[in-house]
Amino acid sequence: MAQQDPTENPIQSMLTLQEIAMAARQSMDPMMWDFVSGGAESETTLRRNRQALDRLAFRPRVLRDVLDVDPSTTFLGCDLRIPVFFAPVGLMQLIWPDGGIANQIRAAESFGILTMKSCINEPEIEDVAALSPGRIAFQLYVRGDADWVDAQAQRAVDAGCQGFCLCVDLARYGRRERDLLNGFVLRRYSPIDESTALAQLDWATVDRLRTKLDMPMIIKGIATAEDARLAVEHGVDVIYVSNHGGRQLDHNRGSIQMLGEIVEAVGDKAEVVIDGGFMRGTDILKAIALGARAVGLGKLQVWALAAGGEAALVRCLEILEEEIITAMGLLGVTSLGQLDTSYITAVEPVSEPGITSSYPRFE
């Protein structure tokens, strides 16, 4: 748990995202840092998330009028000030003393983005939905039978959520060796037991939920064009490209490596969003150029929370906005819709990928 008093944290003086990451590392208990920041087994997938982003370079255009740059977009019927949302991250109540999810939702509401609330965050969706009407989606880990799943979906409907997100890449809990070596036992803190498999979850579950939900349905954990096609055939509204931050299947591809084939497979039948290793405004613009609607912030979101609660979350978004606007101007575009694959090319990365390799002065 973070030990720093938020009233003593000079958040507004921070000018860079790496300052936020460094403040989080200093304030977090080492075991909690590993839980948030580590990955499965050899952490190959974790590092590929970063490496895949580093293997993409820009092809900027010049002599264009970029005096007025607009980085806004829409997602799930919400206006987003920048093309990001707070990804569903579990157990944020362990990160900040007065409750992570409330800080998260207030920060998102204040700045102007959307939050996906994990079902294992406290307080419950009924208690926080009023903090940001129209800007919350509910994400579910399946840990029960059909009646239980349907009841959770109804909670999202009753709370007025903008969407219902079904997480589908947790059929077995990934072997996160940092947690194993640290003796961090997840079932002490949440209903997820890392020693068990999910309850039955298949495309029939998706079909049943689709008939019960009067809201957009999101499937999180899509990693191939084949499953993306199946998802739209089953009426899914949003394809959420993710490898669970490198915390589930090791030796998976980096998230942005999956994006192109999935966008092509989906076409205009569903929106596509993504998470996985996004630490910079330039990272986000790469995903937009490849066809994503918006990008989920996972680890960066938690680091900001640990660095200083709601104020640090807002400051993180402000810095990201500055990075995005600067990069858009230098690319020669004034709106996100102008970006496409012509602005991206493949290159060799210049540094070894790692959890904080985006921040050269982190160490």
**What amino acid occupies position 236?**
V
Are 186 and 203 in contact by the 8 Å Cβ rule? The answer is: no
C-alpha gyration radius of the chain? 19
Are 301 and 86 in contact by the 8 Å Cβ rule? The answer is: yes
Give the residue numbers marked as catalytic.
244
Are 239 and 221 in contact by the 8 Å Cβ rule? The answer is: no
Side-chain half-sphere exposure of 278, counting CA atoms within 13 A: 36
CA distance 40 to 304: 23
CA distance 28 to 33: 6
For residue 91, give every residue at least 6 positions away whose Cβ sits within 8 Å of its Cβ, in sequence order, or none.
35, 120, 121, 189, 190
- What is the pairing mode between strands 56-58 and 344-346? antiparallel
Chain position carrying tokens 């019927």: 77
